[in-house]
Amino acid sequence: MRILIVDDQELVLLSLEKALTDQGYEVQSAKNVISAIEVVDFFLPDLIIADINMPAVAEGRCVYDDVTFDEKAPGLDLIHYLRNVRNDNTPMMILSGNLDEEIIERGFELGANDYMKKPLSLNEIVIRVKRLIGGGSTAKNTETKEKFIQDTCVGVVIPCYNEEERLLSDDFKRFVNKNLGYHLCFVNDGSTDNTLQVLKELRKGNEDHISIYDCEQNGGKAEAVRLGMLHLSEQSQFDYIGFLDADLSTDFADFHELVKTISNSDYQIVSGSRIARVGANITKESARKIISQTINLIIRKTLGMPFRDTQCGAKIMTRRVVNHTFQRKFLTKWLFDVEIFMRMRNLYGLKEAQDMLCEKPLNRWIHADGSKLSFRDSLKIVGQIGQIALHYR
């Protein structure tokens, strides 16, 4: 039995292709409507699984003369063309994170046979495929259990410098094995220990969902994150790109909440917040707490924005923001978060920049061993804030 999968996101294609191939189906894929029509011509699929929201044509391509694109979503144009122009009755399953009931109803009116809303259970997709066309393996596939394709594809940069002893490899493996809409890009920032080898071991068997960007020389966290973010922004499949600390001081559950917030809003950046008043104590030591609050006050005055915690190492943003604010190197190695907001302020103006930013409280945050700043570091930070203020104003 042959199945054609149509989706513009590589993570979705690879996950579905593997799951269905393991069940004994022959699978082909396409990334837009026109390519899908071309594959149908020679592959003659028994089932088509198509995303609603995908490009109509590849960049630089011309459309077929007899194909019009007047539906609200390109996936519907594919259904319309096959059913009304080709009179093709091949069963079609549509996938989408779109909650617009009108679009869902239109899909069924045009001739869709089934609909699944993202996030998708990989196991349920396999079950529904067997119900629609039969075939496949009769044995239960435990590999698809508890695996989900999210309604967005997210790239996450994780800077690593000498993390050989602290890297929670099993936690990262479990996350990507379950959450198929995520891709983790570990940036080895010129480590002098065996971090690179640890990352290579971590990637084995997870090549589709884990990549390594290797910097031969240590350039500091700011440069590691910048290079990783630009690397991921070159891939059009990612709806959002973010960064996370290697020690998982912000855990994946909280990071996923940041992703949900940005995907259900018009925000361009959602930043985690550890401030005590919104549910998470930065520190128990009163002296350190006073220093932290003083630094935060200085940053707020510098930015002119009511941000309570710019320095949390967990942020998610659109590719547009990445392309606009990460092209130039940052002035400082650690306060690049402040520089991101300053660059947005300069680009869009204060009011629009504020409307684009969201600060979301974290449910959990820890100080990993060795992550606390010394008093001397705090003084350096104050000097760097002044440097940022002078440069960007």
Burial label for 25, CB within 10 Å (0-12, 13-18, 19+), is: buried
Predicted pLDDT at 155: 97
Over the chain, what is the mean pLDDT? 87
The 10s digit of each residue's pLDDT in 266-283 is 999 999 987 644 444 444
Question: Could you count the other beta carbons within 10 Å of the beta carbon of residue 11?
Answer: 24
The fold of 151-392 is Spore Coat Polysaccharide Biosynthesis Protein SpsA; Chain A (3.90.550)
The 10s digit of each residue's pLDDT in 155-204 is 999 999 999 988 989 999 999 999 999 999 999 999 999 999 999 999 99
What's the predicted TM-score (pTM) here? Answer: 0.88
Which parts of the chain sit beneath pLDDT 70?
59-66, 68, 70-71, 98-99, 139-144, 275-289, 365-377
Predicted pLDDT at 101: 82
Nearest 5°: the CA angle 356, 357, 362 is 150
Predicted pLDDT at 285: 54
Question: Could you count the other beta carbons within 10 Å of the beta carbon of residue 392?
Answer: 16
Pairwise CA distance, residues 356 & 98, whole Å: 22
97-108: buried (b, 16+ CB within 10 Å) or exposed (e) per residue?
bbeeeebbebbe
Q: What is the DSSP letter of 247?
A: T
- Domain 2-144 homologous superfamily, CATH: Response regulator (3.40.50.2300)
Predicted pLDDT at 355: 94
Q: What is the DSSP letter of 60?
A: T
Predicted pLDDT at 279: 40
Q: Delimit the domains of the chain by residue range.
A: 2-144, 151-392
Predicted pLDDT at 281: 47
